[in-house]
Amino acid sequence: MGYLRKNTSKQRLTRLQAALFGSVVLGGVGLAMPACSEIQPPPVSTTIASGTVEDGYADLAAAVMPAVVNVRVERRGTAEGGPDSPMDDPEMRRFFERFFGQVPEGVRPRRMVGEGSGFIVSPDGLIVTNYHVAGEADKIVVTLSSGEELKATLRGADQKSDLALIEIKAGKPLPYVTWGDSGKVRPGDRVIAIGNPFGLGGTVTSGIVSATGREIGSGPYDDFLQLDAPINRGNSGGPAFNLRGEVIGVNTAIFSPSGGSVGIGFAISSNQARQVVDELMRHGTVERGFLGVGIQSIDADLARVLALDGTKGALVSEVEVGGPAEKAGIEPGDVILEFDGRTVEKVGQLSRYAAATPAGKTVEAVLWRDGTRKIVRIEVGRMPGKEEVASADRDRQADNRPKLGLSLARLTPDARARLGLKDEANGVVVAQVEPDSPADRKGIRPGDVILGIDGKPVEEPRQVVDGLQRAQAEGDRVVLLLIMRNGEQIFEAVPLASS
């Protein structure tokens, strides 16, 4: 959404690249307004004149544009290529192939320049932008709507949410904008977006909110507004406003086969951005809550097996040993329906709810287990940092734990009835099979019931895991599963794989 260009004296080449290249990131945003030595100006939204949409958006745009800025960044590339080399960027390679017929060997620009957008959120110069615009920059320059250029510093950045907070010192109070409540935004609401597309300077576009709560696979905490207001490269980090002049989203991504706007743009919801920015302002980083579970969505088939009325909730597929969830008694096969008083309709919601919960807080979760609702209390942990995650990964590799590629659930009374099993039948239900896993290659499929492993009957998912670890400890490379399928019992010898 921002863009990069090669540092060159050839104006034509610069303009071509400016229209094609992606960008770098940096920055974040603050909520508390630090004291300013001079009288603080009111939020710019208070100056918006009343009028109808039919009259256009001129008054709204005039009021908020002074708080929208251009963010220009520089970063150093590497002469020999590698992950920081622009020549490894697919768009850069396509540019050379299109205009020069080939990618020249040894062309490794050492300095890359990018541009994006941002908006001022406090009178003393705190600015929100995207991580992918400024988060990895070596130099940041902000251009105000007046044309004044100021050097900026990075106050904090969060790659997972693609948000960054940068700061400028203007020596005077600056116009700023305020946050709106994205929870009140509805599809069909009118919006305007302001940014710096293709380096053209402050540009206003209008449209409507096409959808809310979009998850586009960009990260674990996706919560996007989908907009049809034209958003192009260089708009990254710019604000999306409601008609009251409040920021309801931070423009971040587009879906486009051509690289330009096709009417499908995405903005980080203001409620999520506001929380992240507050953390960045106070700490420079974001601390997130942690449950220690692997979760997956529920389809119609899983809902039937689990005796659920609908597909809402998050199915627990894995529980980390010693984690907050295990300590609370949560087990694989549980479905989390509510967390801290909020309904969990989709998997992504639980991830966001948990991440937003302070570490150490005890909350209630409503589970679905064995066809009944159950309430547990969880003391939320702290999300491990990069070093802790790396250490845990090394431990897991050293542990070399075996796996089959299965997600398992308990055999509920309703599942027994649906599968044609007797009331006294025991076992665990296969809820999901990982593609190309040992189980998948042996033809095991969702709905199969595992009755035993290596001659030992099982009634709980944990017993299957124990059986795998026991087999590995004894040096076995294959486990023998007794499976019930379509009313018939069959044996399958399944090779072990390491996790």
Question: Could you list the active site residues?
Answer: 132, 162, 236
Helix (H, G, I), strand (E, B) or coil at 229: coil
Kindly give the interhelix angle for 90-100 and 11-18, rounded to the nearest 10 degrees: 130
Among 467, 407, 403, which residue's Cα sits nearest to residue 433? Answer: 407
Chain Cα centroid distance, residue 151: 30
CA–CA gap between residue 195 and residue 231 (Å, rounded): 8
Angstrom distances, CA of residue 208 to CA of 180, 237, 248, 391: 16, 19, 12, 46
User: Is residue 397 within 8 Å of 487, Cβ to Cβ?
Assistant: no
Q: Which residues contact 373 (CB under 8 A, 6 or more apart)?
A: 337, 366, 367
Cα–Cα distance measured from residue 80 to residue 84, given in angstroms and rounded to the nearest whole number? 9
Using an 8 Å Cβ cutoff, are 157 and 139 in contact? no
Give the number of other Cβ atoms within 10 Å of residue 297's Cβ.
14
Q: With residue 294 as reference, give the H or E element that holds it.
A: strand 293-296
DSSP result, 149-178: EEEEEEEEEETTTTEEEEEE--SS------
- The two structure tokens encoding residue 380: 């939320």
On whether the CB atoms of residues 27 and 133 are closer than 8 A, the answer is yes
Distance between CA 121 and CA 112 in Å, rounded? 28
State how far the Cα of 415 lies from the Cα of 19, in Å rounded to an integer: 57
Q: How far is CA 64 from CA 40, 183, 243, 274, 398, in A?
A: 16, 21, 11, 18, 55
